[in-house]
Amino acid sequence: MPKLTDILANPSANGVYRAAAAIPATSGLIHIDARSLADKNALLEALGRALRFPEYYGKNWDALEECLFDMSWWAGPVAVCIEHAEALAADVLTTLVDIWTEAAVAWAKAGRGCVLILSGAVGLDGLPLVCLEGSA
């Protein structure tokens, strides 16, 4: 089970992970609480705000994919944790994971970190579980 600090420091570990416990706010991740998101549109809006997407961001899946693949306005790794991901609809989570995984693979080839951690997600047992330091 990979450690959170290793994932964040190593672009070859890019991808989507799940966490069994809450991730501390000091971990270097942007945190979004899914309990405050009513639907897909709210999630896309929150991601756009958190990652400072350009004004042209259309708040749809295609626009998310386009912006994640660009990120020219963003310095450093792209690292997001969605807490209480179980609050999101299963189809929304599946699409988010698919898009983020593609972007993470592309950024790994470019040597830039791109990580999404889903805390509390259900039905995503195929995703690797991240280990929080001290909980191995």
Tens digit of each residue's pLDDT (9 = 90 or more) over 95-133 = 999 999 999 999 999 999 999 999 887 667 778 777 666
Q: What is the mean pLDDT of residues 51-62?
A: 96
Measured at the CA of 24, the angle between CA 11 and CA 121, to 5 degrees, comes to: 75
What local confidence, expressed as pLDDT, does residue 5 receive? 83
Cβ contacts of residue 123 below 8 Å, gap of 6+? 90, 93
Q: Are strands 114-119 and 30-33 parallel, antiparallel or unpaired?
A: unpaired
Check residues 126 and 88 and name the one with the higher pLDDT: 88
Q: Which of 2-11, 17-26, 50-59 has the highest mean pLDDT?
A: 50-59
Cβ contacts of residue 96 below 8 Å, gap of 6+? 43, 88, 116
Domain boundaries, the chain: 4-37+76-119
134's tokens: 């001290």
Q: Are 82 and 23 in contact (CB under 8 A)?
A: no
What local confidence, expressed as pLDDT, does residue 23 receive? 82
